[in-house]
Structure 1
Amino acid sequence: MLAENNFLHFKISMTQDIFRGTGVALVTPFKEDLTVDFDGLLKLLDFTISGGVNYLVVNGTTAESVTTTTAEKAEILNFIKEHVADRLPIVYGIGGNSTHQVIETIANTDLDGVAAILSVSPYYNKPSQIGIYQHYLHIANACPVPVILYNVPGRTSSNVTADTVLKLSAHPNIIGIKEASGNMEQCMIIAKHKPSDFLLISGDDLLTLPMITFGAVGVISVLANAFPEKFSKMVQLGLSFDFAPAHQLLNDFVDINPLMYEESNPVGVKALLERFGVCKASVRLPLLEASAGLKDRLNKLI
């Protein structure tokens, strides 16, 4: 039993090491008829990987996961695994507001080749902190790969408090959190009291450098879709505590970042990707493609 526990700790520690730096929350390219554009997805993979990102996040919010079917999700994941091979680790998004359905999805998903899942806190039904804790506890117990928590109150309408995160950090299969609350005091409390091997990952591009100063290991980024090289360089400079040039790069993103969300994510970043010739700007309803005014302001900024 002791040998098994030591092996599990070693395995999870090795997994955690690969999530230092920039994870890109990949968009799902669509054709004009709104079917999945696998040619565009291949271009996006090559574009981001050659730009120096450290790992790929598949089927997250930025991927419009709420509007892709179960069959499409499986096809996208298989396509990425086939074309990425062992080049970069893959994090796969599996979350929801029904604990039973999340566990069922985990059981029915081929997680071979997936380094961890990213699981968003339950949305809409606004559970108590005890409910959130039990939700994640059941997921972690059922999941064959490590779990990264995802706190994004702006989308879920409920916050995963620092106290709840710290309680969950004791679970051997919960290895970190993508923190997108925007509450820096909460992030600092997590950083101060978390186990040394529990990962604090920024979920907000512009807050990445400040969070690195008090213990974050990097970011899961939207902007890294369109600016993989520049954004990855900024994060690596931050992690090397070389903050002067890192802040110079950060300044280049300050004006463009709000436009990524003005008409909802991933509308803005898909407009940039179309401008760069990577994939179409198409999104699925109820989202709409970037307006002419938004595209014009993005073009002026870049």
Structure 2
Amino acid sequence: MEQLYGTGVALVTPFATDGSLDLQALRRIVRHSINGGVDYLVVLGTTGESVTLEPQEKEKVIQTVISENDGALPLVIGIGGNHTAKVVEELKKSDLSAFDAVLSVSPYYNKPTQEGIYRHYKALAEASPKPIILYNVPGRTGSNMLPETVARIARDCPNVVAIKEACGNMDQIRELINTVPS
């Protein structure tokens, strides 16, 4: 996963004043990001309004970014949610050929236990044809993925390759760095 080292940009999904997708603005954002020197792009992460887009809107965003990027940078796609079986289904049915990895947010709203978080990601890892990047954002999900859980996932799921850590707790981040494999 060396192609994902460096700075990745989570792309926003721009909208027109009538609430429709603004695909011209999305193309400009992709070009601006590429020209700005970022190392990879994240499509349909939580920053990209992924939970509020209709399936056909998601497909338009995906195709627009793939087209505008034109192979310039590696791509990561956000596929996550709080319903494990539905996330697994989406991973299995999605055409991920243009993407280098999947960013998947920890289940939100349900407030799963650490065992629940582990089982969620284990199921995703077993279903995903691409490497997975965990996303821990307790301020949005209502649960915190602890370092020992991340280490267990990393140990048991070889295609889980990274974490986007947004806990905001430097002690936890230090523990995470010291607990998980490189």
Pick the TM interval, shorter chain: over 0.9
Corresponding residue SS for 1:118 = strand
* Residue 117 (1) aligns with residue 113 (2): no
C-alpha displacement at 1:183, in angstroms? 1.0
Residues of 2 paired with 1:79 and 1:109: CA distance?
16
Question: Residue 58 of structure 2: which of 69, 73, 98 is its match?
Answer: 73
Structure index of larger Rg: 1
Q: Take 2:131 and 2:124, find their aligned partners in 1: how far apart are those partners?
A: 10
Alpha-carbon displacement from aligned partner over 1:14-41 (angstroms, at most 9, x marks no partner): xx21121111111001111111111111
Structure 1 residue 150 corresponds to structure 2 residue 135: yes
Paired with 2:113 and 2:36, the residues of 1 have a C-alpha distance of 41
CA contact (8 A) 2:147 2:179 kept: no
Partner of 1:180: 166
State percent identity of aligned pairs. Answer: 49
Contact residue 74 and residue 109 of structure 1 kept, 8 A: no
Matched with 1:282 is none
CA contact (8 A) 1:146 1:174 kept: yes
1:58 to 9, 31, 43: 43
Give the structure 1 partner of residue 2 of structure 2.
17
In the alignment, structure 1 residue 195 sits paired with structure 2 residue 176: no
Greater relative CO (CA pairs within 8 A, separation 6+): 1
User: What are the within-5 Å matches in structure 2 for residues 1-302 of structure 1?
Assistant: 16-170=1-155, 171-196=157-182
Where does structure 1 lack aligned partners over 5 or more consecutive residues? 1-15, 197-302
Q: Shift of residue 108 of structure 1?
A: 2.1
Does structure 2 retain, via aligned residues, the 8 Å contact 1:146–1:173? yes
CA RMSD of aligned residues (A): 0.9
Deviations 1:115-149 (A, max 9, x none): 00000000111111111101000000100000000
- TM-score, normalisation: structure 1: 0.59
Look up the match of 1:268.
none
Gap runs ≥5 in structure 2: none
SS of residue paired to 2:61: helix
Normalized against structure 2, the TM-score is what? 0.97
